Structure formats: C-alpha cells, structure tokens
Amino acid sequence: MCGIIGYVGKQDAMPVLVGGLRRMEYRGYDSAGIALVSGGHTAVVKRKGKITNLADALTAKKPTGMTGIGHTRWATHGVPNEVNAHPHQAGHITIVHNGIIENYADLKERLIKDHGRKFESETDTEVLAHLISVKREKDESLEAAVLSALLEVEGTFAVLVLDERDPDKIVAARRGSPLLVGIADDAIFLASDATAVIGHTDRVVYMEDDEIAICTPGKYEIIDFKAQHKRHEEQQIKLELKAIEKAGYDHFLLKEIMEQPKTIADILRGRLDLDAGTSHLGGLNTDPKFYQQMTRFLTIGCGTAYYAGLLGQYLLERMTGLPVDVEFASEFRYREPVVNGHTLGMIVTQSGETADTLASLRELKRRGTRTLGLVNVVGSSVAREVDGGVYLHAGPEISVASTKAFTAQVIAQILVGLQIGRSRKLSATDGKAIVRALEALPAQVQSILDQHERIKAISAKFADAKNVMYLGRDALYPVALEGALKLKEISYIHTEAYPAGEMKHGPVALIDEELPIVYFHPKNDLYDKTRSNLEEVRARGGRLIIVGTEGDESLKEFSDDVIYIPDAHAYTQPILANIPMQLFAYYVAVSRGTDVDQPRNLAKSVTVE
C-alpha cells in the first residue's frame, strides 16, 4: 500500500517521479502528489484519485526541479482528498510518509501548545512534518533534525524529507515500512518498491529498520538511530521493464493468470529429483537432523497467502506425518503462541512486507522458533529476516488480486513437503509420483487456460449475481475459500465458502433458484460422498457452476455450466481446480465494469495494521 519515490540528481525530477508512481499504482491508493525543489522554493502538486489527475495538473502547472519526492496515498488518518494527500509541508520542510505515527495526537497537542503550530490536514504525517520543522529551527542539519524527530515517534514509517534551503539533499528513514536506495553515477533514487526504479538503475541498497539515508546527487550515506555509519552491500535488480508491462493484455490480472504455466516451470526448475522422488531446496539453510526433531509446522499468512497455507496444511500433513497449524498473521501477532525450537514457522507472503506477517515472523524468532519464508519479492523484509526460504520465482505480480503467486505458494509448500517428507515417512514411490505430477502441471494448467472463451461465456451468465456460494471438500475447501475471495475482491459480489460436508449444518438454508453455487466435484477419493451434496443442491434449485474432471459426462445432468480440468494427482488437483476460478472471477468483474487491477479500498501490500 502507498508508494514512495524520490530523486536527487542532475535532470528534471518530474518525469522520474510520475513514472515511478505509475509503476507503483498496483499497490493501491486514493490520491497522489509530488514536490519539486527549485530556486529555493518547493512546488507541491497533489490530486485526489488516479495518477492521471495528477499528471494533468502537472501539465498545466509545469513545475521543475532536480530534487523531488512523490507519493501515492491509501487513506488511514483522514478521508481521501487533496488536503490530506501527500506531500505535506511545514515551513521549509516537505515530506512524504508511509506508515502510522501512533502517538501523533500527543505530538500534535504539544506542537500546538508549545510552538503555536497550525495544521491543515487530518493526517498523522503533517504532525511529523511540523516536528521535523521545529527541530530544524535549532540550526541542526536536516539529517540531525529528522533523527531527533523520529526518536520521539512511536509507530512505523518510511519517510522522505526535503528542505528547500538545502535543495540538493533528500533524507530518508525507515522503520517497519519498505524503502530502498537506487544508485546511479550522478543521481540517487529512493522508492518503496523496486519497480519504481527499473529503467533508471539496477543497483540498489535495501534499508533496514531504524536507519537514515542522506542522499545527494550520485552519493548516499546510511546511519542508524545512534548516528553510527552503516554499510550495506549493493544488490542488483534482475527485473526487466517488460516484466511490469501488460504485454498486450487488457489487464495485468489476465496477464498474470495466463503466465502461470511459465511461473510453475520457473519455480520447479532445478528443484525436482525424479530418481530420488524428492526436491532440492538449497535456501532452507536447515540441518537435515532438524527434520527428524520437528514436531509441527506453523504456517502464517494473510488473505490469499493464508488460504495457500490452508491448502498446504492438507498436503504437508499427508507428506510428512507432522501436524500443521495455519494462522492469520493479524491474529497470531497478538496471541500467546505455544511454539518451541522443534516448530518450523513457515511465513507465506508475496510481497515480503505485509506488516502483520512481519510482526508474526519477529515474534516467532523472539521465541526461538526456526523460520522459513515462502517469498516472491527478492530483497524484501521477510526474505532478509527468515532463517531460510524458498523464492517463488513468480515474477512481478502487479494486479492487487493475487493469482500466480497463490499457485507458486502452494507449489513451494509441496516442494518443502517433498524434502522433509522423504526424510521422514514419504516413500520413494510416492515421492516419484508427486514429482511426475508436478512436472505435468504446466501443460495441464495451459489446457485449462485454453478454455478461457468457454469460461468467459459461463461467467457472463452470473455477472448480475448479488451473492455466490463456493463449496469444496477436503483440499478443495481452501480452493473454495480462495475462489470466493477472488470474486469478492474484484467484482464486489458478496461471496461465502464452506466445506461441502458442512452445507447441511446451516448454509443449505440459503440455497434457492437465485443463488449461484460454485461446486468442486472432480474425481477423487471423496467423489461419491461429495456427490450426495451435489444432489442436495440440485434438489433445492441452486444455480450450479461445477468444476469436474475431464470425461465426467454425468455432471451435465446437474448443470449446463461445467468446467473441466485434467485428471491429476491428488496433490496437484487443487491447483488445477483453482485456475478456472481465477478466470471466472476475472470475466465476471470485467462484465460488471469494475477496476480489475486496482479494486476499491484494497492495497497490494498492507504495510500498516
């Protein structure tokens, strides 16, 4: 959520700032603005709504400057409007900020009482701007004023600070919200997301918590909150510009759904061993003896990552013989968890920056639990802080609604399960069968994607639905949850998901001729038991969309709207069953005319509580 971009160099900053903000649109926002320093004056332009509105205003005003900062805001303190939009100013100071200043009310009261400060917005960020301004009045350097102010702050922040009296400098600071420094020969870039600097530089340094970066054209210095110099290794961004473009698709979401055969091949490449029926994951950084001493998995995630973990629970327990508990990160961080050195904490996250997930990771580490990250974004906070991990290799996921990352998260858990399972209870024969199933997966997913026109036609019939129910049993229950979440997120239709066997314990009361029901009924060990639930739905007139196995013609007795998936191994069948649900949600949303890639009120990476 929220995007930050900064530039100090030798060229006009405005195109860099606007371009960087456009690259971060996927993070979710409701207003945007930039500030440019030139001739001892700071020009601030900000607008409610999309970056297009800001770009139009900039075209009219034509501000210039070779030092500048920009921001896309997702409202927390104060409604989305131009006054509350960033950047915020106080005297000569201008700032942009991601995060939450928890003690802003106390600071604001003191600033009004002791310094006569007046406030225009409802934001916590303006309070920080005034606090830095007060500190700067003591003739401290800008970086010293920022440090002094932040020592009084409780909460999280990624902040960029300008002082128009020091026009060739940006001071940046981070605690609990991502921030990187991009390095070029005659310029420094600052951003909350690496996508914002692609095309300008591939050299970056990722700031750590409680660090300050002092940036001038082509130079930077990083200090900690004790003013001690810090050294960081530069890293190379391996993303290419084309990876964050639509490549001819109408939406990033459709592009990312269609990329999944390649995504699956990428996450599997070099990691499967058919002869031994296992996987090789060098990044786990775990002594093999630990696998024998393990007593449980504890999986942590939010939203789609949580549902990926829930699906992994069914698979990992069967592969390893170990219990698996799955927790919402937002709940886990405030509990008194029962963990020990024999628990493996598995952190599932696309961005690696979600605040609740990071807090849960740190709590696990504080309690001496070994941690393993399943992360998509290289260099993210989770990737740096876990004891070991598996990169998902899904590539940039720009659409807010996660699709290919979910698929990769499930596959990563299967790979972990193979490696641990083969050291415990999983036989070589069963391991080889799973490896073969994974190898077949890219072609099987492609066969489902090739049905997109049929799925589009089915989706059109349900675009006017007010409610949709999803039903699945065993490992298909988490698929039902994820399918319901996708439709809910991007079409704004109310959805619910239940285990099919629980239907008779309440949800059956909702079923009538008006209620569409997505029913997962592929051939598996529970096929006959699931069939009885299907009969119950038909008896009550529910409008059925059925996901079944190729060749099962009997399903046409229940509905004309049957989507077929290939016959597959029990561990890969749930992955296949989810693919048509991604397309179904996409086409329903397109029919309804919603903002598919940036659904209202949602953010890609939620870096505040």
**Residue boundaries of the structural domains of the chain:** 3-243, 246-450, 451-609
pLDDT at 154: 93
Question: How far is it, in rounded angstroms, from Cα 582 to Cα 79?
Answer: 32
CA distance 500 to 481: 12
Q: Tell me the pLDDT tens digit for each residue of 334-345.
A: 888 888 889 999
- Residues (pLDDT < 50) of the chain are none
Cα–Cα–Cα angle for 97, 191, 99, rounded to 5 degrees: 25
Query: Does residue 566 have a cis bond before it (omega within 30 degrees)?
Result: no
* CA–CA separation, 365 and 344 (whole Å): 11
246-450 domain in CATH 3.90.1150.10?
Answer: no
Output the pLDDT for position 285: 83
| φ and ψ at residue 432, rounded to 5 degrees | -65, -40
What are the backbone angles phi and psi of residue 190, rounded to the nearest 5°? -125, 140
CB 346 within 8 A of CB 299: yes
451-609 has which CATH code? Answer: 3.40.50.10490
- Under DSSP, is residue 95 helix (H, G, I), strand (E, B) or coil? strand
Closest to 156 (Cα-Cα) out of 12, 367, 437, 353 = 353
Looking at every residue in the chain, the average pLDDT score rounds to: 92
φ, ψ at 6 (rounded to 5°) = -145, 150
**Contact assessment for residue 264 and residue 414, using Cβ atoms and an 8 Å cutoff:** no
In the prediction, which pLDDT does 305 show?
96
Hey, what are 124's tokens?
């916590």
The predicted structure's pLDDT at residue 608: 55
CATH 3.30.465.10 fits 3-243, yes or no: no
pLDDT of residue 241: 66
Tokens read off for 525: 């060990």
Residues across the chain: 609
Rounded to whole angstroms, the Cα distance separating 589 from 525 reads 34
Q: Determine the Cα–Cα distance for residues 579 and 256; give it in Å rounded to an integer.
A: 11
pLDDT digits (tens, 9 = 90+) for 38-71: 988 999 999 998 899 999 999 988 899 999 999 9
Q: Per residue in 170-193, is it b (16+ CB within 10 Å) or e — as a string?
A: bbbbbbbbbbbbbbbeebbbbbbb
What would the DSSP string read from start to end of 548-579? EETT-GGGGGT-S-EEEE----TTTHHHHHHH
Exposed, middle or buried by CB within 10 Å (0-12, 13-18, 19+), for 509? exposed
Alpha-carbon gap, residue 252 to 401, rounded angstroms: 10
User: What is the pTM (predicted TM-score) of this model?
Assistant: 0.82
The residues carrying an active-site annotation are 2, 604
pLDDT at site 335: 83
In the chain, the amino acid numbered 147 is L
| pLDDT value of residue 242 | 66
Separation of alpha carbons 514 and 198, rounded Å:
49
| Domains 246-450 and 451-609 agree in fold | yes
| Amino acid sitting at position 47 | R
| pLDDT score, position 449 | 98
Helical axes 142-150 vs 124-136, angle rounded to 10°: 130
What is the rounded CA–CA span in Å between residue 19 and residue 11? Answer: 14
How is 451-514 classified by DSSP, letter by letter?
THHHHHHHHHTTTT-SEEEEEE-TTHHHHHHHHHHHHHHHH--EEEEEEGGGGGGTGGGG-STT
